[in-house]
């Protein structure tokens, strides 16, 4: 389990901009003019940093309310855990993370599958990554119980008929006679397992390695970490936020 991260201090002008008071450039003007106070003391230095949780910032005597800090986490889900916020008597992915904020998993990954799960406090991300209308890609490593022909992989690429309709075209890359990567832009219930059955195979391993622009990479099974600032920016940009 990853340790809790200490809250980072941020530059005063960034704190003001994030709170929606003004742009960073305008915040710098306010600081130079002596209009900004931190814990009752007027601040005029550009390098000043503040702790958003404990420091009191005012502009011309009016308090600045800190922006809500959303949480974005990646987890390498082991088999046996359910992507749910509550499932009495069963192991859920929230059992594996330890953060103060309330977070929830984005999208489905069934109990027997492993790999990347995103958890967030940001409801906008949850809606846009989980809803099929936004066309976010999800990439999986798949192993099946018998050799799969090139023709069968082509069927997966073009779409196969399931009980709830035809699947959309998918990207498929062979790794071995019984293994391949598949990239989807939809997320029906147990979709890849049902697609494999439609071409005469049974999935024996299903591991998600990417959601949109976020890659699992080398995070060990059962471990989690906060997304980096660069990953957060890519994720938010991909969702039009």
d(CA 39, CA 78): 46
Structure tokens at 8: 């980072």
d(CA 219, CA 73): 12
Is the Cα torsion angle 171, 177, 215, 79 positive or negative in sign?
positive
d(CA 155, CA 64): 57
**H runs (alpha helix) in 64-173:** 123-130, 150-158
Among 110, 122, 145, 150, the active-site one is 110
Q: Determine whether 110 is an active site residue.
A: yes
Active site residues: 110
């Amino acid at each position: 389990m990853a340790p809790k991260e200490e809250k980072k201090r941020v530059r005063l002008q960034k704190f003001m901009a994030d709170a929606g008071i003004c742009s960073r450039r305008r915040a710098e003007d306010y600081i130079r003019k002596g209009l900004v106070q931190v814990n009752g003391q007027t601040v005029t230095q550009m390098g000043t940093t503040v702790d958003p949780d404990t420091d009191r910032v005012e502009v011309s005597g009016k308090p600045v309310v800190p922006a809500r800090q959303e949480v974005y986490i990646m987890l390498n889900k082991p088999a046996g855990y359910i992507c749910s916020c509550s499932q009495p008597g069963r192991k859920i992915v929230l059992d594996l993370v330890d953060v103060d904020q309330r977070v929830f998993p984005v999208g489905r990954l069934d109990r027997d599958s492993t790999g990347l799960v995103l958890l967030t406090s940001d409801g906008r991300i949850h809606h846009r990554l989980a809803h099929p209308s936004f066309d976010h890609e999800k990439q999986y490593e798949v192993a099946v119980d018998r050799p799969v022909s090139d023709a069968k992989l082509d069927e997966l690429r073009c779409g196969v008929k399931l009980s709830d309709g035809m699947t959309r075209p998918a990207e498929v890359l062979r790794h071995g006679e019984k293994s391949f990567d598949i990239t989807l832009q939809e997320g029906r219930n147990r979709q890849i397992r049902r697609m494999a059955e439609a071409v005469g195979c049974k999935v024996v391993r299903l591991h998600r390695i990417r959601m949109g622009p976020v890659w699992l990479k080398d995070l060990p099974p059962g471990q989690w970490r906060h997304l980096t600032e660069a990953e957060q920016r890519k994720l938010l940009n991909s969702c039009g936020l």
